[in-house]
Amino acid sequence: MKKTPFSIAAMALLLGYAALSQTPAGPKHHVVFQLSEADGPAWSSLVLHVNNTMKSLADDGGSQVEVVFYGPGLSMLTRTNTAYEERLKQLSDSGVRLVACRNAMKMRNVKTEDLFPFAGQVDSGIAEMVRRQEAGWAYIH
C-alpha cells in the first residue's frame, strides 16, 4: 500500500519530464524596436542596433526581434526607399519581423504593393507595441 503514492509521484514526474523534453525550445529573448521617425539618425542606426542586439543575445539563448514601423517611419518600408532595401531584406532573411502599421498606411495612402515584399503588417503600430510589451518583450525606441 505504501508503494502506491510513491508510484503515482514517480509516474507524474516521468510524464512531466517527457512533456518538457518534447517542447521545442524557442528564443530566450524577445525584443521589439519602434521606428516612427522620418529619415535621419534612427534610420541610419536601426540595422546596426538590431544586428548588434541579435549577435549579443545569440549565446544567451537567442532572440526573436520585431521592428514596428509607423508614422513617418513607415516610409522606410516602402519600395521607393532603395537606400535601405538590401539591409532591411538581410534583417528579414535573418528572422527579424518587419511590420508596417495599417493605420499609418491608410493615413499616408500607402498600399500593400507599395511595401517591400518582405514586410508584414499589423493593425496598429502602437497597439502592436502595447501587445508585445504586455507579453514581456523588451521595448527599444
Instruction: Tell me, yes or no, whether 84 lies in a domain.
Output: yes
CA torsion through residues 134, 43, 122, 97, sign: negative
The answer to whether residue 82 sits within a structural domain is yes
Task: Give the rounded percent of residues in the chain with a pLDDT score beyond 70.
Answer: 82
Chain segment 7-51, per-residue pLDDT in tens: 555 555 555 555 444 445 688 999 999 999 999 999 999 999 999
Q: Is residue 66 part of a domain?
A: yes
Residue 54 lies in a domain: yes
Range of the domain at 114: 26-140
What letter would DSSP give residue 78?
A: B
H-only helix segments in the chain: 3-21, 41-58, 82-93, 102-107, 125-134
**What local confidence, expressed as pLDDT, does residue 8 receive?**
56
Position 43 in a domain: yes
Structural domain includes residue 87: yes
The reported pLDDT for the residue numbered 23 is 46
Number of structural domains, the chain?
1
Q: Supply the pTM of this predicted model.
A: 0.82
- CA 22 to CA 50: how far, in whole Å? 31
Cα distance between residue 76 and residue 82, in whole Å: 9
The CATH number assigned to the domain holding 130 equals 3.40.1260.10
Residue 11 lies in a domain: no
Averaged pLDDT for residues 58-77: 96
